[in-house]
Structure 1
Amino acid sequence: MADQPTKRYAVVTGSNRGIGFEICKQLATKGMTVVLTVRDETNGVEAVGKLKQFGFSETVVFHRLDVTEPASVSSLADFVRTQFGRLDILVNNAGNGGVTADEDALRDGVLGKGFRVGNEIDLNWSGTLMETNELSEECLKTNYYVLGDAENLTEDKVDQVLRIFMNDVKEDSLEAKGWPTLLATYSISKAAMNGYARVLAKKYPSFQINCVCPGSVKTDINYNTGLLPVEEGAESAVRLVLLPNNGPSGHFFVRMARSEF
């Protein structure tokens, strides 16, 4: 295995708070230069200020990024190219829950009544697709089979599954077509990302490209109803990006363990 460069550079999306913020902190602790990104500049600058209080004034910088805007993605890519000349690590953390919440129900522990399904495909799928390219019952069974068929999976096939899903959302036929109805868009967008990671891993065999489920982590996105602290959630992702060059690629991990799709 070739020696790692003395200095390494990382970009973490959606990282002004929660797991993303903690990933930035842990990577900076390892001596890396980390680009903290978020849509809102005020939030980003504030987050970097907090990290500077931990002594990372020279290792963490902010750059605005909206993963759903091609121009914003290109701007970040240009920044990395100009400032560092390369990128060693990209953590696609940006996303949203795709739901609104009944906080009273959540406080009472009624999870199924606490969340109302929304639509997050554009952020969790389309945004990550653009960014990664720039920076380097029977219906459900059939579509999950397509996403799980690693050897024959393509970007077009992943996109086709999402188009079918979105059409069924518009027609209000998720239940009739066998899709999950609780947190539907969240579940399908994450399944698509797992599939797309496999496509990228085949396309770029010299890169390590994996997906990780950090577990049920207490963050604002779930109104702090999770079980794990953000430190443990972030640790799962950081462990993956620090694997040696001959480590696994194209896999799905649940916390620290490799898992089936």
Structure 2
Amino acid sequence: MPGRIAVVTGGNKGIGLEVCRQLAGNGVTVVLTARDETKGAAAVEKLRGMGLSSVIFHQMEITDDTSISRLANFLKTRFGKLDILVNNAGVVGLEFLQDRIDGTSTTSEKDTYERIDLLMKWCFRETRDAGKECLRTNYHGTKQVIGALLPLLLASDDGRIVNVSSELGQLRLFGDEALRRELDDVETLTEERVDAVVAAFASDLDAGVAAVAVRGWPDGAMSAYAVSKAALNAYSRVLARRHPTVRVNCVHPGFVRTDMTVNFGLLPPEEGAARVVAVALLPAGGPTGAYFEERREAPFV
């Protein structure tokens, strides 16, 4: 029986694939999940070609209850526990326009927000449908996976959940000060309240851009993505308080060059993944309910 067992969602490319590689390189048996069976199996073969034989593929779509249940049953039968769950799968919440940035607009000195502005100018636009898919995937889908796999994490001697978040999910981006304080008050915050906040934002998406701006939601062209990550952060803190024997943490991998950023990020996938893996492999008894940025604990606000 192998030692530590990890599940990585969205593991067939980008940050997820690198997380799988680095965890396997640290002696962890990794179950790489992806919604596309062909792409997931090819990713596992790629890693095995690097000599990493402890990587297994299992299909899972994080918004599909049936595929999540199949994974949970597989893990229970094969291992009887789960030590590390890395929730990496997610979407950007934008409609794709083209796969490149105008070459005259790129310089290495531009920071994250300048680059996002350029992405929105050339490659993406925010729509209601894309925004609602973002909430359904990044928040509700991740919660579904956690709920199904939590019994296996509780069966571990040192279960860990690492939720891949973003600096765009920090509460300082919310214009509503009362809502900021509420989402940051971990002693009174509940899962039901976080769900209600997400539902309220979804309702305002239906009402249109003006409603999103007036209600104090994160400003800018990635408001749905920001709300999805802020809600995931808040839920992580609720979960950490509810299950103190499981380490539940969030990590911002940085603005990474992946398909999601049309390779216009600032960091290579190897570095973004290393930041995630560092949290996944924290020493026993380490922090829980925390947010990490650039390999250090940082405020949620």
What is the alpha-carbon root mean square deviation over aligned residues? 1.8
Q: How much does 1:138 deviate?
A: 8.8
Structure-2 residue corresponding to 1:111: 119
Residue 129 of structure 1 pairs with residue 143 of structure 2: yes
Alignment match, 1:210? 249
- What number of residue pairs does the alignment pair up? 256
Aligned partner of 2:85 among 70, 90, 98: 90
What is the CA–CA distance in structure 2 between the aligned matches of 1:248 and 1:134, rounded to whole Å?
23
Q: How many Å apart are 1:148 and its aligned residue? A: 1.2
Compared CA separation, residues 165 and 22, structure 1 to 2 (3 A): same
Shift of 1:141: 2.6
Which segments of 5 or more consecutive residues in structure 2 lack a partner in the other structure?
107-117, 151-172
**Pairing 1:150–2:146 present:** no
Q: Report if the CA contact (8 A) 2:256-2:266 is conserved.
A: yes
In the alignment, is the contact (CA less than 8 A) between 1:105 and 1:113 conserved in 2? no
Match of 1:55 in 2: 51
Cα deviation code 1:213-252 (max 9, x no counterpart): 0111100111011011111100111111111121000011
Partner Cα separation in structure 2 for residue 178 and residue 229 of structure 1: 33
Q: Is the 8 A contact 1:210 1:252 kept in 2?
A: yes
Q: Secondary structure at the match of 2:287?
A: coil
Deviations 1:150-181, CA, capped at 9 Å, x for gaps = 11111001101101101110001111222223
**Does the residue aligned with 2:101 lie in a helix, a strand or coil?**
helix
Q: Which residue of 2 aligns with 1:176?
A: 214
The one-letter code matched in structure 1 to 2:299 is E
Write the distance in 1 (CA, Å) between the matches of 2:281 and 2:91: 26
Residue matched to 1:167: 203
Report whether the alignment pairs 1:248 with 2:257: no
Q: Match of 1:113, as an amino acid? A: K
After superposition, the Cα gap between the structure-2 partners of 1:41 and 1:166, relative to the gap in structure 1 and judged at 3 Å, is: same
Identify which of 53, 67, 92 aligns with 1:72: 67
| Unaligned stretches of 5+ residues in structure 1 | none
Residue 228 (structure 1) aligned with residue 228 (structure 2): no
- Give distance in 1, aligned partners of 2:12 and 2:2: 26
Greater shift, 97-106 or 178-187, is seen at 97-106
Matched residues in 1 for 2:99 and 2:84: separation?
Answer: 40
Task: Give the TM-score taking structure 1 as reference length.
Answer: 0.93
The 2-side partners of 1:237 and 1:76 are apart by 22
For the residues of structure 2 that align with 1:27 and 1:138, how far apart are their CA atoms? Answer: 35
Letter in 2 for 1:142: A
Q: Which has the higher contact order (CA 8 A, sep 6+)?
A: 2
Native 8 Å contact 1:102 1:113 kept in 2 = no
TM-score (structure 2 length as normaliser): 0.81
Larger CA deviation: 184-193 vs 113-122: 113-122
Please report how far the alpha carbon of residue 149 of structure 1 lies from its aligned counterpart in structure 2 after TM superposition.
1.2
The answer to whether the 8 A contact 1:233-1:255 is kept is: no
Q: Pick which of 103-112 and 156-165 moved more.
A: 103-112
CA pair 183-205 structure 1, distance change in 2 beyond 3 A: same
Q: State the one-letter code of the partner of 1:66.
A: E
1:105 CA drift (Å): 7.3
Deviation track 1:38-83 (CA, whole Å, cap 9, x = no partner) reads 00100100100100110012x0000000111111111101101111
Q: Partner letter of residue 20 of structure 1? A: G
